[in-house]
Amino acid sequence: MNKPIRTVSVGIMLLFLALMLNVTYLQYWRADSLDSDPENRRAVDATFSQERGAVLVGRQAVAESVPSDDRYEFQRTYAKPLLYAHATGWFNYYNAQSSDCTTCQQWIEQTQNDILSGDDDRLFVTRLVDLLSNQGQKGGNVQLTLDPEAQQAAFDGLRQTIGPDGQGSVVALDPRTGKVLAMVSLPSFDPNRLASHDLSEVNAAYEQLDADEDDPLNNRAIQTTLPPGSTFKIVTAAAAIESGEYTAADQVPGGATYQLPLTSGETGLIDNEGRSCGTSLIPFAQAMEQSCNTTFARLAVEVGADAMRDQAEAFGFNEEYFDDLQPQAESVFPTDMNEPETGQSGIGQFEVRATPLQMAMVAAGIANDGKVMRPYLVDEVQSPEFERIEATEPELLSEAVSESTANQVTELMVSTVDNGTASPAAIDGISVAGKTGTAQSGIDDVPPYAWFTSFAPADDPQVAVAIVIQKAPGIDRGEIAGGLLGGPIAKAVMEAVIR
């Protein structure tokens, strides 16, 4: 009987081999895909229990993991929740579950998840040391570019101006590098509530925030596009000078009204709402100081739709350029416009829409000799011991205008602060360049949006700011004007950076 016994042995050996191969496949090759299955509660629990790295602003940790005594080892806490909510985002069980979720919040907690959780390849050595010393994996830290004083000034200024129920946003950039120095969106929310370990609490908080009409979860700085109104005249002026037809010292067409080409009557008639714009030709500086619609509509028509679009796109319109927070809205400059539409677009109306970040980039581009830097929020990533692993290198996004054009537009903007509508942003002893905007919402019953954008010092720019006030319930419709509302905020933010 030995022969069949040997055959049976071989058969059984094959069965055992099959078991071993299958187990190896399961625990080695297939393990990664099973571990990252969003339904795998083990992986989620572990991620959620980890000591994540901190998000730092200046020397303060604005998001960090502190030991917790409930079923998870660490609780994520946000030190200044309202101030930094739209930068950090939040981290809770759901986020841990869907780290690659593309439709949900993709702010620092999410976009820098690999560093914060410690899974990033750059933290390999740290992980190895943790493993060998039998300690739990610790995440690295993320240092943000935000300037705590500028952020606070922006937050306080905006909050004061628009009141508790208002909507608005402030963005400040370092024009030389593209660093985001301040990014505020109001109303804000408390990410601590969304990071609770109690899932029903999280759900209730999220539903409440989601249902809120003022949309606190929206990061208006990058997610809301509005007609930029007169602040867009900076782009129009740049296009006119780039075209070679004008210099800042030239006379430009003025006048109290301007009938757009191909139109007749009220609908195509541009006026200046009573500001002094001369009769036929006026100095370029005056047109900017008084924010003359008639001038810039005509300049846009003269430059032409294509050149206008090229100029707007050179500043970043019609593309996404900000990697550190997602999702973001693209600022829009329309294509295939006819002449009257082009005229409207020259004063930031028609279908032109911009995010506050985009308008800050326009100001920053002018400030930085025409070079628009790619904006970024992550300054550097660090090991758990706060050693620098990698710092973000500033990157040129585009050369929007020549240095000479940039200098001329700066001149015009400086005189707008010195003698014109942007005067509330003036700082003693420092030359400030600025532009106001009051954009028609285009919707009945919705008051206009007040814009303000500026940079300082004009000769050696350190900060560029854009402010939008989307809704300020306490303020009469007639009083909504970019200079009045936005100017003081811009001034406070610029002072915070420069001083």
Partner 1 sequence: MAARTALPAQGANPIIGFVHRRRRGAELFLLVLALAVGIGAYAAVGIGVQGRVPADIVGYGGWLTALVVAAHVVVRIVAPYADPVLLPVVAALNGLGLAFIHRVDLVDGTDLARNQLIWMTLGAVLFMVTLVVLRDHRVLTRFTYTAGLSAIVLLLLPMMPVLGTEIRGARIWISLGPFSFQPGEVAKVLLVIAFAGYLVLHRDALALAGRRVLFVDLPRGRDLGPILGMWLVSLGILVFQKDLGSSLLFFGLFLVMLYVSTERPGWLVVGGALFLGGALTAWRLFGHVQTRVSVWLDPFAYYGEGTNDTGFQNVEGLFGMAWGGLLGRGFGGGDPTRIPIVESDFIIAGLGEELGLTGVIAILLLYGLIVERALRAAIISRDGFGKLLATGLGSVFALQVFVVIGGVTGLIPLTGLTTPFLSQGGSSLVANWVVIALLLRISDLARSPVPDLTADAEDDADESTQVIKL
> Quick check: 201 binds partner 1 (CB under 8 A)?
no
Q: Say how far apart CA 113 and CA 270 lie, in whole Å.
A: 50
Of the pair 49, 431, the CB lying nearest partner 1 is at: 49
Of the pair 30, 388, the CB lying nearest partner 1 is at: 30
Stretch that binds partner 1, among 3-11, 225-233, 296-304, 407-415 (CB under 8 A): 3-11
> Quick check: 16 binds partner 1 (CB under 8 A)?
yes
> Quick check: 280 binds partner 1 (CB under 8 A)?
no
> Quick check: 7 binds partner 1 (CB under 8 A)?
yes
Stretch that binds partner 1, among 13-21, 154-162, 268-276, 459-467 (CB under 8 A): 13-21
> Quick check: 199 binds partner 1 (CB under 8 A)?
no
> Quick check: 28 binds partner 1 (CB under 8 A)?
yes
Among 185, 230, 398, 415, the active-site one is 230
On whether the CB atoms of residues 420 and 288 are closer than 8 A, the answer is: yes
Q: Say how far apart CA 161 and CA 487 lie, in whole Å.
A: 11
Nearest to 311 by CA among 240, 416, 359: 240
The β-bridge relationship of strands 55-57 and 141-144 is: parallel
CB atoms near residue 37 (< 10 Å): 13
> Quick check: 8 binds partner 1 (CB under 8 A)?
yes
CB atoms near residue 361 (< 10 Å): 33
> Quick check: 98 binds partner 1 (CB under 8 A)?
no
Half-sphere exposure of 90 (CA within 13 A, CB side): 23
Stretch that binds partner 1, among 14-22, 211-219, 363-371, 399-407 (CB under 8 A): 14-22
Query: Would you tell me the crossing angle of helices 233-242 and 305-315 to the nearest 10 degrees?
Result: 110
> Which residues have C-beta within 8 Å of that of residue 11, sequence separation ≥ 6?
none
Give the x-and-dash track for 31-60 against partner 1 (CB under 8 A): xx-xx-x-xxxxx-x---------------
Q: Is the peptide bond before 457 cis (omega within 30 degrees of 0)?
A: yes
Of the pair 74, 307, the CB lying nearest partner 1 is at: 74
What is the rounded radius of gyration, in angstroms, for the C-alpha atoms of the chain? 27
**230 catalytic, yes or no?**
yes
> Quick check: 3 binds partner 1 (CB under 8 A)?
yes
Angle at 106 between CA 395 and CA 489, to 5 degrees: 65
> Quick check: 104 binds partner 1 (CB under 8 A)?
no
Q: Say how far apart CA 217 and CA 224 lie, in whole Å.
A: 12
Of the pair 37, 395, the CB lying nearest partner 1 is at: 37
What are the residue numbers of the active site?
230
Q: Which residues bind partner 1 (CB under 8 A)?
A: 1-13, 15-16, 18-20, 22-24, 26-28, 30-32, 34-35, 37, 39-43, 45
